[in-house]
Every structure is written in structure tokens, then in C-alpha cells.
């Protein structure tokens, strides 16, 4: 019953076909975000898309193939959202602007405090190693965008030469993920802001302190 459909890069896909395929992925991603991956059935996806099940199978041989594309779409959206801001990070102030955009963005949107990538990782890492590896790569990419900004801060002398951009980035993304989970569970934005503030304070602890400031209290 499950017919292997054309790959994304297949020349057999018309513009209309590509649009339908994209719509299926976006619909599945949204359903999986709102109710979980396992709780989302292919029947729900076809109903929400207004297509037939055979149309779905034309593009995706099975749910796993669809999940693979949902992860790829989430990675693409994460990069589209974070890269433009993180590529600008050259100072603590830039990093604070990124933090503010996350907190304010959620406050102004109807979206729940829930990281689409974190939610996929939590549900899939324990039982699908292919998905786990893909999601680990997404986290590494996210950390890399942040680490590049922190490395620029170190090069410019804002951060101590001993600061480790890679390790700081891991800590910041961990705080972000934990903040999302607590905020969603408690339906309260405070844990999200508190966790991000801790992460930024952690980076700030590596800001080079001018010698003048250290001795000022004794003058």
C-alpha cells in the first residue's frame, strides 16, 4: 500500500506537486507541534490537508518519511529565524537583543511556549535513532550559530580569551530548552525569561573586566 514517492529533489515533481508536498509537511509539522508526533496520524494529516491518502502516499511512503521532512522543515525555520540575528552578534548588547526578541516574540504571539525542535527531540530521541541523529545535528547547528557570535565577541576582546564559545553555546541552548519546558508546563513565561537571563549572565561572567573597575572600590 505504501508506494515510495518521488524524493524532494526528484525532477518528476511539478511546481504544483512541490507545493502540495510542502503543504503536507507544513500541516504535519503543525499537528505534531500541537499534539505530539505519535498522537498525529496520517489520517489527520490528509483530513487537515484536504487530500486523499493515496495522494499522501504519492509523496511519502510512510510516516517516518514524513517525520524526516518535518525535522528538515523545523531546521530550516530555526535557521531562518535565528541566523539573521545571531550573525549580527558582536557584543553582549547584541546577545541581549536576541534574548529580548525571543521573550517578546512569544509574548506577542499565540504560540504556546514550546520549542518545535525540543518537542520532536523529546518524543523521538528515545525510539528512533535516525530522527535522534537528525535532531542532534539541528541542535549542533543552532549551537554553532550562537558559538560563532560568541567567538566574534572573544576576538573583539569583549570576552575573556579563556571563554569557550562552543561550551557557552551548549549552556545557552540548554537553558533555552529547559525554560521552554517549564514555561509550557506552568503556562507562565517567567521560567523562560529566568532561564534565558541565567544563560546570559553566564556569558556575561566571561566578559573581560577592565582593570580600572576591579580596583575602583579602593580608591
The site for its own copies (CB under 8 A) is made up of 34-36, 38-39, 112, 114, 118-119, 121-123, 125-127, 132, 135-136, 139-140, 167, 170-171, 173-179, 181-182, 184-187, 190-191, 194-195, 197-199, 201-202, 205, 214-215, 217-218
- Residue 56's nearest CA partner among 20, 19, 105, 89 is 20
Minimum distance, C-beta of residue 107 to its own copies, in the bound complex (Å): 18
Question: Is 207 strand, coil or helix?
Answer: strand
Rounded-to-integer distance, Cα 113 and Cα 144, Å: 23
- DSSP letters, 152-196, are HHHHTTSB-TT--HHHHHHHHHHHHHHHHHHHHHHT-SHHHHHHH
Give 96 or 123: the residue with its C-beta nearer to its own copies.
Answer: 123
Nearer to its own copies by Cβ, of 22 and 197: the residue is 197
Q: What is the closest distance, in whole angstroms, from the C-beta atom of residue 15 to its own copies in the complex?
A: 34
Question: Which SS3 state, helix, strand or coil, does residue 115 take?
Answer: coil
Count of alpha carbons within 13 Å of 145, Cβ hemisphere only? 20
Nearer to its own copies, 58 or 172 (CB): 172
Q: Is 173 exposed, middle or buried (0-12, 13-18, 19+ CB in 10 A)?
A: buried
Minimum CB separation from its own copies for residue 11, in Å?
Answer: 34
Which lies closer to its own copies via its Cβ, residue 28 or residue 199?
A: 199
* Min CB(182)–its own copies separation in Å: 5
Query: Of 5 and 191, which has the nearer Cβ to its own copies?
Result: 191
Amino acid at each position: 500500500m505504501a508506494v515510495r514517492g518521488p524524493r524532494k529533489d526528484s525532477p518528476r515533481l511539478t511546481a504544483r506537486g512541490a507545493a502540495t508536498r510542502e503543504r503536507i509537511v507544513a500541516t504535519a509539522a503543525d499537528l505534531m507541534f500541537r499534539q505530539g508526533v505519535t498522537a498525529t496520524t496520517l489520517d489527520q494529516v490528509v483530513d487537515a490537508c484536504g487530500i486523499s491518502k493515496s495522494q499522501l502516499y504519492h509523496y511519502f511512503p510512510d510516516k517516518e518519511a514524513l517525520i524526516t521532512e518535518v525535522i528538515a522543515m523545523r531546521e530550516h525555520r530555526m535557521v531562518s529565524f535565528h541566523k539573521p540575528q545571531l550573525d549580527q552578534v558582536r557584543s553582549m548588547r547584541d546577545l541581549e537583543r536576541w534574548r529580548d526578541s525571543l521573550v517578546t516574540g512569544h509574548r506577542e504571539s499565540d504560540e504556546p511556549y514550546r520549542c518545535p525542535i525540543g518537542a520532536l527531540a523529546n518524543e523521538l530521541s528515545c525510539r528512533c535513532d535516525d530522527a535522534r541523529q537528525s535532531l542532534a545535528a539541528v541542535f549542533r547547528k543552532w549551537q554553532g550559530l550562537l558559538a560563532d557570535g560568541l567567538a566574534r565577541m572573544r576576538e573583539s576582546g569583549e570576552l575573556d580569551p579563556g571563554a569557550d564559545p562552543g561550551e557557552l553555546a551548549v549552556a545557552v541552548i540548554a537553558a533555552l530548552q529547559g525554560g521552554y519546558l517549564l514555561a509550557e508546563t506552568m503556562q507562565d513565561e517567567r521560567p523562560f525569561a529566568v532561564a534565558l537571563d541565567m544563560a546570559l549572565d553566564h556569558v556575561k561572567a566571561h566578559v573581560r573586566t577592565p582593570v580600572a573597575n576591579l580596583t575602583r572600590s579602593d580608591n
